[in-house]
């Protein structure tokens, strides 16, 4: 008599938790919400854009945090720029809220608010 084969036991392997992505180096400078709103207001006024539009976009994108980093994509800073977009608009320090606000204001003024399809409505 031939012995019957032993049953095969399949044990599922639990999924691995994703490795958190550390935030890149930032300036470490902290700003109050009022400081950020003043920076954005100045940039908006210089570009002829409604400050409330830029402020609400930054609130939506980063909660007015110039050191915000989105680990699921390479979006960084106050307006969650792609580094290539930021540098393509002559930005040199993506963690500088003044540069971020100036570049965003210039983009909004030139009709590029669609780069923020959800938050710039």
- Which pLDDT tens digits describe the chain residue by residue (121 residues)? 666 666 655 655 555 544 434 444 555 677 887 899 999 999 999 999 999 999 999 999 999 999 999 877 789 999 999 999 999 999 999 999 999 999 999 999 999 999 999 998 8
- 48 and 109 Cβ atoms separated by less than 8 Å: yes
Structure tokens at 95: 């963690």
pLDDT computed for residue 112 by the predictor: 94
Candidate CATH numbers 1.10.530.10, 3.40.228.10, 2.40.160.20, 1.10.357.10; the one for domain 33-115: 1.10.530.10
């Amino acid at each position: 008599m031939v012995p019957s084969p032993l049953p095969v036991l399949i044990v599922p392997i639990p999924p691995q938790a994703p490795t958190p992505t550390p935030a890149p180096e930032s300036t470490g400078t902290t700003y109050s919400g009022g400081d950020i709103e003043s920076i954005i207001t100045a940039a908006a006024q210089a570009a002829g854009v409604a400050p409330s539009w830029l402020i609400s976009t930054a609130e939506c994108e980063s909660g007015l945090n110039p050191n915000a980093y989105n680990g699921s994509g390479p979006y960084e800073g106050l307006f969650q720029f792609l580094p290539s977009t930021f540098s393509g608009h002559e930005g040199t320090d993506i963690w500088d809220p003044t540069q971020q606000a100036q570049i965003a204001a210039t983009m909004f003024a030139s009709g590029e608010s669609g780069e923020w399809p959800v938050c710039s409505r």
